[in-house]
Chain A
Amino acid sequence: EDQVTQSPEALRLQEGESSSLNCSYTVSGLRGLFWYRQDPGKGPEFLFTLYSAGEEKEKERLKATLTKKESFLHITAPKPEDSATYLCAVQYPKAAGNKLTFGGGTRVLVKP
């Protein structure tokens, strides 16, 4: 069964304390890996798409990287406004249509 696993489930950081979130998936050759940010009571907001191992994308304090079996979302010197749930999703090779499989998310809390 196609699965996406995110770790840790929750992360508490002090402002300025850099850390990384992990997203692992079960097969290689995926068609795309997507990172989203979700604030409480809102829908997921698209952040990054990664397609091949070695690829990296950056946006402000966030940097996403991809290997053959996992992706990392690095948060550098986080601020309280980076507090959110970060979701990872994978489009598997045999997925019908443009179906995505989502991980359970990592809840990030950045304290001032």
Chain B
Amino acid sequence: DVKVTQSSRYLVKRTGEKVFLECVQDMDHENMFWYRQDPGLGLRLIYFSYDVKMKEKGDIPEGYSVSREKKERFSLILESASTNQTSMYLCASSFYQPQHFGDGTRLSIL
């Protein structure tokens, strides 16, 4: 079974902090993705990566950056957290399709 592990289930941070969300997959997948999920807005793609050190902007990249130094790890960075970034963040990985998801990090920015 594919396992996608997100480092924290719940996280509380303050406005202006730099926040790191970590994701690790154990299936040697090339592709990794970061989404946020908000009520009424569904899943929206923030960034994705198709190889080590490669990244592509998704639909809502503003205020975020990513890092992929190793194939199995994909990090999402909130450069200066704001309250409108309070959300559920989901990481996914795939070889091609389908994408397999972690259980999410519920992030609250106070």
Chain A residues within CB distance 8 Å of chain B: 32, 34, 36, 41-46, 49, 87, 89, 91, 96-100, 102-105
Contact = CB atoms under 8 A, between A and B. Distances in A.
Interface residues of B, number: 24
Given A34-B99, A87-B43, A102-B43, 13 more contacts: A41-B104, A43-B90, A44-B90, A87-B42, A89-B43, A96-B56, A98-B48, A98-B94, A98-B97, A98-B99, A100-B45, A104-B41, A105-B42
A34 B42 contact: no
A45 B90 CA distance: 12
The B contact surface, by secondary structure, is strand
A17 to B, nearest CB: 26
A96 B47 CA distance: 12
A43 B42 contact: no
Most A-side CB within 10 Å, residue of B50, B98, B103: B98
A15 B2 CA distance: 32
A102 B40 CA distance: 12
Nearest to B41: A104
A71 B45 CA distance: 22
Given A97-B56, A98-B94, A99-B48, A45 B103 contact: no
